[in-house]
């Protein structure tokens, strides 16, 4: 277990400057040993753009279409992502697990990047986290929006997220600063140890718990979450925190 404060300087850089750096690091190769896993549920408006942007840096993108009713899966396929389609809606946790199961059996896979479909993550952050995992041979890198003050969630959202952090840390004995961030980098070995049973939102805490139990080396990395009007409208409500709490306590 490593202290999250030690890596803070890595992320301290100006937003605009940072974007040029990872492309220089990755060069011309598009990370052929990485699979980007996107749980996808009714994001037809934005998913195409998200995939196009990802494809500039990652050649392998898989969308797990969790029974979308707005044709998100077809759009993802048209934009060149591999699409795995759940016949019924199971929840984000189940979609994430399907994506991890899909990626971990492939011979080329060394790392799995989990990415949200609504375009709230920055690709520069994903690349930097991947770089960190590669150079320090980490089993897992968690994105955290609370390690610096770039991200500005609303007050209520902050309360919800911080509550989730406290509950997760209490139940998993880990010391994270952001429990419900969709941006993570997992090594293939870590993926073998993960089997999420929570179909719904509590999976974010469950994945932390399983990584804690498996004694995987991990770090947190400061990321910026882009709260667009689109993602704001879809965000989690306070009542959802009650659901997460219940699902974590009641097995």
Partner 1 sequence: MNWIQVLLVIGLLLVGFYLVRARPSASHLALRRLFVILTTIAGVVVVVWPGLLIWLAHSLGIGRGADLLLYGLVVFVLVDSVSNYKRSVNHARTTSELARALALTEERLQESIEELAALKQSTSTKTTKKSAGTPIAKRK
- Catalog residues that contact partner 1 under the rule CB under 8 A: 64, 82-88, 90, 94, 97-98, 101-102, 197, 199, 249-251
Q: How far is the CB of 209 from partner 1 (least distance, A)?
A: 15
Q: What angle do CA 60, 101, 25 make, to 5 degrees?
A: 35
Q: For residue 194, what are its two tokens?
A: 């993960």
Q: Give the separation between CA 251 and CA 249, rounded to whole angstroms.
A: 6
Q: Give the separation between CA 164 and CA 89, rounded to whole angstroms.
A: 24
Q: How far is the CB of 74 from partner 1 (least distance, A)?
A: 13
Nearer to partner 1, 4 or 65 (CB): 65
Nearer to partner 1, 97 or 187 (CB): 97
In sequence order, what E strands does 43-110 have?
A: 61-65, 82-85
Residue bearing tokens 């952050």: 125
Nearer to partner 1, 98 or 181 (CB): 98
Q: How far is the CB of 77 from partner 1 (least distance, A)?
A: 10
Q: How far is the CB of 67 from partner 1 (least distance, A)?
A: 9
Q: How far is the CB of 85 from partner 1 (least distance, A)?
A: 6
Query: Which stretch of DSSP H or E encloses residue 30?
Result: none
Q: For residue 55, what are its two tokens?
A: 């494809």
Query: Which stretch of DSSP H or E encloses residue 38?
Result: strand 34-40
Gyration radius of the chain over CA positions: 17
Nearer to partner 1, 100 or 128 (CB): 100
Nearer to partner 1, 23 or 101 (CB): 101
Nearer to partner 1, 96 or 141 (CB): 96
Alpha carbon separation from 147 to 10, 67, 222, 229, 250 (Å, rounded): 11, 34, 5, 23, 31
| Nearest in space to 94 (alpha carbons), one of 227, 247, 213, 233 | 247
Q: How far is the CB of 243 from partner 1 (least distance, A)?
A: 14
């Amino acid at each position: 277990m490593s202290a999250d404060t030690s890596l803070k300087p890595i992320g301290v850089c100006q937003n605009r400057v940072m974007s040029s750096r990872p492309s220089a690091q990755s060069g011309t190769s598009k990370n052929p040993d990485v699979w980007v896993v996107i749980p996808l549920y009714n994001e037809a408006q934005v998913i195409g753009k998200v995939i196009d942007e990802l494809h500039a840096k990652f050649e392998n993108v898989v969308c797990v279409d969790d029974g979308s009713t707005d044709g998100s899966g077809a759009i993802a396929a048209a934009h060149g992502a591999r699409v795995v389609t759940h016949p019924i809606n199971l929840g984000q946790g189940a979609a994430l697990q399907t994506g991890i199961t899909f990626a971990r059996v492939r011979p080329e896979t060394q790392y799995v990047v989990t990415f949200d479909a609504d375009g709230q993550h920055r690709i520069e952050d994903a690349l930097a986290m991947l770089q960190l995992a590669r150079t320090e041979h980490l089993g897992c890198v968690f994105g955290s929006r609370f390690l610096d003050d770039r991200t500005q969630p609303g007050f209520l959202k902050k309360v919800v997220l911080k509550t989730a952090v406290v509950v997760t840390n209490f139940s998993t004995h880990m010391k994270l600063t952001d429990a419900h961030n969709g941006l993570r980098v997992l090594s293939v070995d870590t993926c073998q140890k993960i089997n999420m049973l929570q179909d719904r939102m509590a999976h974010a805490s469950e994945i932390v718990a399983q990584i804690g139990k498996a004694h995987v080396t991990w770090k947190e990395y400061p990321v910026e979450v882009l709260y667009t009007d689109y993602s704001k409208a879809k965000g989690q409500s306070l009542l959802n925190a009650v659901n997460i709490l219940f699902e974590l306590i009641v097995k």
